[in-house]
Chains A and B, each alone.
Chain A
Amino acid sequence: MPKVKMPRKSTNVDMTAMCDVAFLLLTFFMLATKFKPDEPVTVVTPNSISEIPIPDADIMLITIDDKGRVFFGVDNKNVRKSLIEDINEYKGLNLTEQEMNNFAVGASVGVPFNQLKSYLSSDPAQQKEFDKSTAGIPTDTVNTSDQNELAAWIRLARNNNPKLRIAIKADGDANYLEVKKVIKTLENWKIFKFNLITGLKAVPPGTAAWEAQNAGLKSK
């Protein structure tokens, strides 16, 4: 018969500390990060050694997916609102206020003008379906042709915000011809300076860039 009675200890763990840590981490993530922008297509960009970060504001984003479809977006809600109003006027699309607001809060669009009204009047789930099969915004190498709708988007967007910087986010497997059409469209509007969004890769050792990087580090 056991002579010593085992002292019973409490099995309740005090969860206060854990709760504090959880909310601290949560506050960090809420303040230090930004939501990933909602994109109609997933694009895998090629990598480069360039470390220049994308500018914070006033960006015009032209997305090209691996099948060569072109999508267009700007980042400011107010600019988007006035842009869609100009597009409505220019092309006579008869968009309702609701549809224009839908555009203003949305992300990139990739539909030709004649399908824009039906695209904007659908709900987000239908829009996602649309995005899978859409042909993208028609582009051409000449800006004066009606085929080149991207030229119209770019021109009206720049009218609404002259400070817009152009960023091209294209998939690595996109055929060069589509990218060339976009670049030619930009050149026709006298835009010769733009950014290509790329992933980051390490500088290969033994090359000129690597030496430049190390020389900078040594001198510090």
Chain B
Amino acid sequence: MAEMDVSSGGGHKKGPGVKKGKKLSTRVDLTPMVDLGFLLITFFMFTTTLSKPKTMEINMPYKDEKVEEKDQTKIKESVAMTILLSKDHRVYYYEGLANDPTTPPELKITYFKPKDGIRDAIIDKKKRVEELKQQGVLTGKDQLTVLIKPDPSSTYEDLVNMLDEMAINDVRVYAIVDITPVDQEFIQMTEQANPNTQ
């Protein structure tokens, strides 16, 4: 231990009644200091955080009430895919925009699984868009466009997972859009047709 020699010199004269100065130990026990140190470390370990939380940047499409319907850029049916998020983490999707009321689209049901889930569906559609581009049907500027429509029974986690799938599959053009009553009808019809799906 760090020793400091503060013991009194023993050279005093012995007078009557003077007690002999007892030589006290100069060894300081540092164990409590170490205890304190570790207590403080534990406190800081629990109440602070080393990493800053991560964020996901979202850009919503610019909305201006003055812009008229016809001036907004039109999305081509052949590059579009609509994804509907519903309850219990279900994902319904169909190709195109369902603009034609006479031919209702076929809704397919899937989930956020890594295999045979919505990711494979997006990769499939992306491949088909690439094929159309190679055939010359689409120009180089056309890219897979995804419309994400969450319905009132979906959760925030579904939305974040879907936006994450956009990043994972490198889909650059996507938008979060309000679900239409027509889409909700499609969901209901599909649910009635397949009551046993998990």
On A, residues with C-beta under 8 Å from B are 12, 14-16, 18-19, 22-23, 25-26, 29-30, 32-36, 45-54, 56, 64, 167, 169-177, 179-180, 183, 187, 192-200, 203-204, 207-210, 212
A177 to B2 alpha-carbon distance, docked (Å):
67
- Residue of A19, A48, A167, A183 near B160 (CB, 8 A) is A48
A177 to B56 alpha-carbon distance, docked (Å):
20
**Complex interface: stretch among B26-34, B69-77, B95-103, B128-136:** B26-34
Report whether A29 and B160 are in contact in the complex, using a CB–CB cutoff of 8 Å: no
Q: Which residues of the partner chain A approach B58 to less than 8 Å between Cβ atoms?
A: 193-196
Report whether A208 and B156 are in contact in the complex, using a CB–CB cutoff of 8 Å: no
Cβ contacts A to B, 12 pairs, < 8 Å: A16-B1, A26-B41, A29-B45, A45-B160, A52-B55, A54-B53, A172-B156, A174-B156, A187-B60, A192-B59, A193-B57, A203-B168
- Residue of A14, A22, A169, A183 near B1 (CB, 8 A) is A14
Q: Which residues of the partner chain A approach B31 to less than 8 Å between Cβ atoms?
A: 15
Report whether B157 and A50 are in contact in the complex, using a CB–CB cutoff of 8 Å: no
For chain B, the count of residues having a C-beta within 8 Å of the partner chain is 53
Report whether A175 and B50 are in contact in the complex, using a CB–CB cutoff of 8 Å: no
Report whether A36 and B168 are in contact in the complex, using a CB–CB cutoff of 8 Å: no
Q: Which residues of the partner chain A approach B154 to less than 8 Å between Cβ atoms?
A: 175-176
Q: Which residues of the partner chain B approach A187 to less than 8 Å between Cβ atoms?
A: 60, 63
A171 to B133 alpha-carbon distance, docked (Å):
40
Q: Which residues of the partner chain B approach A170 to less than 8 Å between Cβ atoms?
A: 156
- Closest chain B CB from A64 CB (angstroms): 7
In the complex with contacts A34-B49, A194-B58, A26-B40 CB distance below 8 A: yes
- Closest chain B CB from A67 CB (angstroms): 12
**A interface SS class:** mixed
Report whether B33 and A179 are in contact in the complex, using a CB–CB cutoff of 8 Å: no
On B, residues with C-beta under 8 Å from A are 1-2, 27, 29-31, 33-34, 37-38, 40-41, 44-45, 47-50, 52-63, 85, 114, 119, 123, 150-161, 163-164, 167-170, 176
Report whether B119 and A207 are in contact in the complex, using a CB–CB cutoff of 8 Å: yes
- Closest chain A CB from B98 CB (angstroms): 20
- Closest chain A CB from B63 CB (angstroms): 6
Q: Which residues of the partner chain A approach B163 to less than 8 Å between Cβ atoms?
A: 48, 196
**20 other contacts beyond A15-B30, A174-B156, A192-B63, with CB at 8 A cut-off?**
A22-B38, A29-B48, A33-B44, A33-B50, A36-B49, A48-B163, A49-B167, A49-B168, A50-B164, A52-B54, A64-B156, A167-B55, A172-B155, A172-B157, A174-B155, A175-B155, A176-B155, A193-B59, A203-B168, A208-B168
- Closest chain B CB from A20 CB (angstroms): 9
- Closest chain A CB from B115 CB (angstroms): 10
- Closest chain A CB from B64 CB (angstroms): 9
Q: Which residues of the partner chain A approach B56 to less than 8 Å between Cβ atoms?
A: 48, 50, 52, 195-198
A19 to B29 alpha-carbon distance, docked (Å):
11
- Closest chain B CB from A176 CB (angstroms): 5
- Closest chain A CB from B157 CB (angstroms): 3
Q: Which residues of the partner chain A approach B161 to less than 8 Å between Cβ atoms?
A: 46, 48
A200 to B51 alpha-carbon distance, docked (Å):
11
A185 to B135 alpha-carbon distance, docked (Å):
44
Q: Which residues of the partner chain A approach B27 to less than 8 Å between Cβ atoms?
A: 12
Q: Which residues of the partner chain A approach B160 to less than 8 Å between Cβ atoms?
A: 45-48, 172, 196, 198
Report whether B41 and A34 are in contact in the complex, using a CB–CB cutoff of 8 Å: no
- Residue of A36, A177, A195 near B48 (CB, 8 A) is A36
- Closest chain A CB from B141 CB (angstroms): 19
A56 to B53 alpha-carbon distance, docked (Å):
11
Closest to B52 in A: A53
A192 to B176 alpha-carbon distance, docked (Å):
12
- Residue of A29, A46, A192, A195 near B60 (CB, 8 A) is A192
Report whether B34 and A176 are in contact in the complex, using a CB–CB cutoff of 8 Å: no
- Residue of A14, A16, A192 near B61 (CB, 8 A) is A192
